[in-house]
Amino acid sequence: MSRVLITGAGGFVGARLARHLLKQARPDAPIQLTLTDQFALPPDLQNDARVVAVQGALVDQAALFSSGFDQVYHLASAVSGECEIDFELGLRSNLDSTRVLLEGLRKAGNRPRLVFSSSIAVYGPDPGLAMPAVVADDSLPAPQTSYGTHKLMCEYFIADYTRKGYLDGRSARLMTVVVRPGKPNGAASSFFSGIIREPLAGQEAVCPVDLTVAHPVASPQSTVLSLSALMQASREQLKRRLAINLPAVNVTVAHMLDTLEKVAGKKALSLVRFERDERIAAIVANWPRAASSDTAHHTLKMVGDASFEAIVQQYIDDMRQSGLSDTALKGLA
């Protein structure tokens, strides 16, 4: 039986990944999925006989981590906006908790495979170079948030644990995942989902940056499939390149809103109100405007999303399948 751990499994990407892995598992290759989160898991996961749910802070789970997992998806993280406001939260939740995890896995001694959810927030403008127009796998990181700094530190930490043979790690630099369901969260990137999600629900959305802002995004499904593909990749395929950009769709806010209008009509578009937020705008200004994903596409054959329209359509399909059309798609023409 394969023992798989997902940290942050109560989160949006984590829960979707858990469902994907449970669905994919073949009867002849049974899986035991340990799902940790500081909050309670969604009921469908809690009630699956193959799931072991562990609620609490990662820093308290050293004994669990050293209990012998085969595969670990480390997704738990405080988000960028929160960590800019609360410096110690970032230290604790993103740096210390990763160290507790890595040390537990090292002590287990079975060299588990590990996929770490890093972020394009590791990139930023480098004064000697300026930020490249498109950040590539081998662009020089220069994080401009504590969130991005701690993600990058963890990447290098994981690469060293891997070099030493304590585990077999790889880091996925996630694009901003859109369209997130539910409510806005503390991430500075939260509006990238909000300006699509709220109008589709017939509600007003505030866009804190202007139309020219450009950014690489990916759908939840693309992100989950990419994380799973990175876990399957062999060390030979990866060579020593242990941190890669996941597939991205490079968009501007203008293109996102054009797509909203195309899919949901003029009325939906009119629900987006521009109200500049200097704090958010300053964070976003230091993020990459576009990303390339050569290792992901060419070496690892990840597919990614076809277009931003396909990403919006995925959200609509998800809402319909979840029976949430009445509220979530109220604004759909």
User: Is 93 near a copy of itself (CB under 8 A)?
Assistant: no
Identify the active-site residue in 147, 161, 166, 315: 147
Pull the structure tokens for residue 78.
Answer: 């405080």
Which of 40, 85, 140, 324 binds a copy of itself (CB under 8 A)? It is 140
Burial 178-215 (b: 16+ CB within 10 A, else e): bbbeeeeeebbbbbbbbbbbbbbbbeebbbbbeeebbb
Distance CA 149, CA 229 (A): 25
Checking 47-51 for CB contacts under 8 A at 24+ apart, the result is: 48/22, 50/22, 50/25, 51/18, 51/22
Per the CB < 8 A criterion, the answer to whether 93 and 77 are in contact is: yes
User: Is 157 near a copy of itself (CB under 8 A)?
Assistant: yes
Q: How far is the CB of 92 from a copy of itself (least distance, A)?
A: 12
Comparing CA positions, the residue from 280, 23, 245 lying closest to residue 117 is: 245
Four-CA torsion 155, 126, 78, 50, nearest 10 degrees = -40
User: Is 165 near a copy of itself (CB under 8 A)?
Assistant: no
Binding mask 220-239 for a copy of itself (x = CB under 8 A): -------------------x
User: Is 178 near a copy of itself (CB under 8 A)?
Assistant: no
Nearer to a copy of itself, 97 or 295 (CB): 295
Q: How far is the CB of 265 from a copy of itself (least distance, A)?
A: 43
Q: Which of residues 283-322 bind a copy of itself (CB under 8 A)?
A: 295
Nearer to a copy of itself, 138 or 210 (CB): 138
Q: Which of residues 266-285 bind a copy of itself (CB under 8 A)?
A: none
Nearer to a copy of itself, 26 or 239 (CB): 239
Which of 117, 146, 171, 176 binds a copy of itself (CB under 8 A)? It is 146
Distance CA 143, CA 124 (A): 5
By CB atoms closer than 10 A (0-12, 13-18, 19+), residue 85 is exposed
User: Is 64 near a copy of itself (CB under 8 A)?
Assistant: no
User: Is 152 near a copy of itself (CB under 8 A)?
Assistant: yes
User: Is 92 near a copy of itself (CB under 8 A)?
Assistant: no
Handedness of CA 52, 45, 113, 166 (dihedral sign): negative
User: Is 241 near a copy of itself (CB under 8 A)?
Assistant: yes
Q: How far is the CB of 138 from a copy of itself (least distance, A)?
A: 5
Four-CA torsion 40, 44, 50, 51, nearest 10 degrees = -10
* The pairing of beta strand 176-177 with beta strand 214-218: parallel
147 in active site:
yes
Q: How far is the CB of 103 from a copy of itself (least distance, A)?
A: 9
Distance CA 315, CA 230 (A): 24
Name the residues that contact a copy of itself, by CB under 8 A: 87, 125-129, 137-140, 142-144, 146, 149, 152-153, 156-157, 159-160, 163-164, 239-241, 295
Catalytic residues: 147
